Amino acid sequence: MQVVVPFAAGEPKTRLADVLEPAERETFARAMLADVLATVVDAGHEPTIVATEPFDPDVLESTEAVRTATSVVVDDRPLTAAVNARLPAADDAVAVVMADLALATPTALDRLVAPDADVAIAPGRGGGTNALVVRHPDFRVDYHGASYLDHRQIAREAGVTLETVDSFRLGTDVDEPADLVEVLVHGDADARAPTVLRTMGFALETTDGRVAVGRRDEPRPN
Amino acid sequence: MQVVVPFAAGEPKTRLADVLEPAERETFARAMLADVLATVVDAGHEPTIVATEPFDPDVLESTEAVRTATSVVVDDRPLTAAVNARLPAADDAVAVVMADLALATPTALDRLVAPDADVAIAPGRGGGTNALVVRHPDFRVDYHGASYLDHRQIAREAGVTLETVDSFRLGTDVDEPADLVEVLVHGDADARAPTVLRTMGFALETTDGRVAVGRRDEPRPN
């Protein structure tokens, strides 16, 4: 299946500005993108990076298999327009998976593409739409606001069936400092994003029985 | 299956103190507990409320079916000890489901009890253990800290198999103000917890494309 992976190549992950410098945010965002691409290819699909500005996928240092399967297009329109331009015109299937789903696994993606519905959505926290599969030409996305609720309404109005995929892994998009905990707890030990975080000095800390992420004052040299 | 539902009957949900008065927190915590019990019974299981202090389940105003299936025990020990006292002594199965899993559904619980493993865990955010099933007498819980990671290690050391259940619904425990969004977005329209929140004046608000929960100044009379 074609899997669209939108990627804000310009100034990614600004909500992590409190804990990561701009260059670190770029490194981390690329690491998550590399992990997502590897997961998509492992699951047997073909990813297309839809980048907001020119982007050389070689910087991701992906494996040969992932590099071969991945294509890149540049589309500087807002997310909704860039995605809608790539949704199926006929009864074809296209998936859209966000580039910051660092916890995604091939098994989780299998569950996303499994439903026999016109639209399948894995919601994120705060009413977001973290991943979806569209199999009907009458459905279009609108990522503004509580997009999960909007997408349910759009599906109802278009008369297409919609199924919700109940996944913690796909429901976790890494946007804010607290989300880094999830990358360290659930990320594969050899995946890129957790490795980058650990290299930058991040580690899990337990205080008062709750878990947070902490950083050593002096990050190790990269 | 026996399903243990620990419930802090004393002063519940203190991390919601910024948005809910003490009496409201009690009402909301009970509403979530009532929803969890109804879900457990709908899924065909028998819930036992393990309350930290004497608790009359009649205040939950559950249906006859839920009332009949539910038992209450009081155990004022810390969570870990109170749960371990109720885990299986033989090759029996016991589930533990937290009382604030307001998004839980029978389908999600079916997925929790489905794995053919000695232990199945649905992790929550921050490395927590929101729900688990134990089918082996050698496994014991430890809820302090990053309990999900600790439970994996305890299982490894005990030589028992462990499977992780990937569920957004079971992964969402309602602890903090931001979690109220999830109750309003994903809760059943006729479930108790979302109804209580709406009665208290809470509603979804979209600002800058992100969704939060807002409250009218004057709550409606209950």
pLDDT digits (tens, 9 = 90+) for B52-71: 999 999 999 999 999 999 99
Task: Write phi, then psi, for B2 (nearest 5 degrees).
Answer: -70, 130
- How far, in Å, are A44, A69, A113, A129 from residue A95 at the CA level? 13, 15, 8, 12
Alpha-carbon gap: A131 to the closest alpha carbon of chain B (Å): 13
What pTM value is reported for the model? 0.95
Torsion of CA A189, A193, A194, A195, to 10 degrees: 80
On the question of pLDDT at B220 being above 60, the answer is: no
pLDDT at position A220 is 53
Torsion-angle region of B44 (φ positive above 0: left; ψ -120 to 50: alpha; else: beta): left
Contact at CB, A107 and B171, closer than 8 angstroms = no
Q: Which amino acid is at B2?
A: Q
On the question of pLDDT at B42 being above 70, the answer is: yes
pLDDT digits (tens, 9 = 90+) for A12-61: 899 999 999 999 999 999 999 999 999 999 999 999 999 999 999 999 99
Task: Give the span between the Cα atoms of A17 and A15, in whole angstroms.
Answer: 5
A-chain CB neighbours of B207 within 8 Å are none
Q: Which of B127, B149, B185 sits opposite A146 (nearest CB)?
A: B185
On the question of pLDDT at B219 being above 60, the answer is: no
pLDDT at position A218 is 54
On the question of pLDDT at B84 being above 60, the answer is: yes
Q: Are B106 and B136 in contact (CB under 8 A)?
A: no
Alpha helices in chain B (DSSP H): 22-42, 64-69, 79-84, 106-113, 147-158, 168-171, 179-186, 192-199
- How far, in Å, are A100, A167, B144, B217 from residue B127 at the CA level? 19, 16, 10, 35
pLDDT in tens, chain A (222 residues): 999 999 999 888 999 999 999 999 999 999 999 999 999 999 999 999 999 999 999 999 999 999 999 999 999 999 999 999 999 888 789 999 999 999 999 999 999 999 999 999 999 999 999 999 999 999 999 998 889 999 999 999 999 999 999 999 999 999 999 999 999 999 998 899 999 999 999 999 887 666 788 887 655 554
Alpha-carbon gap: A58 to the closest alpha carbon of chain B (Å): 32
pLDDT at position A90 is 82
Q: Are A156 and A135 in contact (CB under 8 A)?
A: no
Confidence of residue B131 (pLDDT cuts 50, 70, 90): very high
Contact at CB, B209 and A144, closer than 8 angstroms = yes
Q: Residue B160's Cα: distance from chain center in Å?
A: 25
Q: Which of A171, A185, A186 sits opposite B168 (nearest CB)?
A: A171
Contact at CB, B204 and A166, closer than 8 angstroms = no
The answer to whether B114 faces chain A, any CB pair under 8 Å, is no
Alpha-carbon gap: B144 to the closest alpha carbon of chain A (Å): 5
pLDDT at position B105 is 98
Alpha-carbon gap: A123 to the closest alpha carbon of chain B (Å): 8
Using CA coordinates, name the residue in chain B closest to A180: B126
Q: Are B86 and B48 in contact (CB under 8 A)?
A: yes
The answer to whether A122 faces chain B, any CB pair under 8 Å, is yes
pLDDT at position B64 is 96
pLDDT at position A125 is 94
A-chain CB neighbours of B149 within 8 Å are 185, 204
Task: Give the span between the Cα atoms of A178 and A176, in whole angstroms.
Answer: 5
Q: Are A47 and A3 in contact (CB under 8 A)?
A: yes
The answer to whether B169 faces chain A, any CB pair under 8 Å, is yes
Hey, what are B59's tokens? 């205040």
- Angle formed at CA B193 by CA B192 and CA B196, multiple of 5 degrees: 85
